[in-house]
Amino acid sequence: MEVQRYLNRIGYSGSALPTLETLQQVHRCHMLNVPFENLTTHSGGKTQLDIPWLYDKIVVQRRGGVCYEINGLFSWLLAQLGYQTTILAAQVRSRFTNAYGPPFDHFITMVTLDGHRWLCDVGFGACFEMPLSLETQAPQKQAHGVFRLKRRGDMIFMETSVEAQGETPEGFKDATTEDGITWEGRYKFTLQPRQREEYREMCVYHQTSPCSLFFCKSLCTLLLPHGRITYIGFKLLVTTYPTEEGGSVVKTTQELTAEEIPAILKEKFGIELSSPLIPKDEDIMPPPVRY
């Protein structure tokens, strides 16, 4: 496994010194070049957690993956670059069921640099493009949205501004409004360090449970310089963010046939599957327990 080949895969050509600027740019490049996708589950394969397997899939085969895969390999890269990393576990709030998932639902990484803690997450799909500071609860504005890390006791909630996504607050359950901004919870976590082995059970769960988005829907999504492109089921969704102040977010939807999907995956995401994809877009069952 070669660090430079990994950096080439994500299109990063800057300094490899473990500075904040390197962390920010490596994170952003990863978001722009490695899709968040669960296509292995829907093409006859199984997701694994071993670093060499992840390296081969993401770097050599130029695929993407779910959080356990992308963030799992990204945390390895950061450690190789010299960063102090801590693996954390998060519980994701489903926009389909409005419930938080079980513990170890999501794999995230904390980087401690010069006494400052940063949340890194390149494996969530529509999320922040550069690390978020864990030292503040104030809004953190980026090109693709406004985010904040809200503390409630030991729990930290990663939230995003509904308005910054081009949405209106109506219809968002459990959202909160403060100072004229409506915040939607995305996931919650604590700062308790975790080990890779602790995620194996949930990795199987997301490939087999009707309560999981990843089992019920085939999907692939990638950050664009001025938006996001998403394949899900039999649809292609494109979101374009304004390049000037006061502009509007534009969203388009294209219906796809099963025969069109492989070409779309290759053209838009650079993905060629070794086995046929079975497109899927089924309703997600609410989890039996609300966490």
Q: Which residues contact 242 (CB under 8 A, 6 or more apart)?
A: 248, 249
The CA distance from 78 to 75, in Å, is 5
**DSSP labels for 212-227?**
-HHHHB-EEEEEETTE
Query: Has 203 been annotated as catalytic?
Result: no
**Catalytic residue among 67, 127, 203, 211, which?**
67
The CA distance from 172 to 235, in Å, is 22
Spell out the SS3 assignment of 229-256. EEEECCEEEEEECCCCCCCCCEEEEEEC
CA distances from 207 to 9, 94, 215 (A): 26, 16, 5
At 183, which amino acid appears?
A: W
**Catalytic residue among 105, 120, 121, 216, which?**
121
Query: Has 105 been annotated as catalytic?
Result: no
Closest CA to 282 of 95, 99, 96: 96
Vertex 13, ends 37 and 239: CA angle to 5°?
40
Neighbours of 131 (CB within 10 A): 23
Query: Has 174 been annotated as catalytic?
Result: no
Q: Which residues contact 133 (CB under 8 A, 6 or more apart)?
A: 116, 117, 118, 119, 140, 149
**Catalytic residue among 30, 42, 106, 206, which?**
106
List residues with catalytic annotation: 67, 106, 121
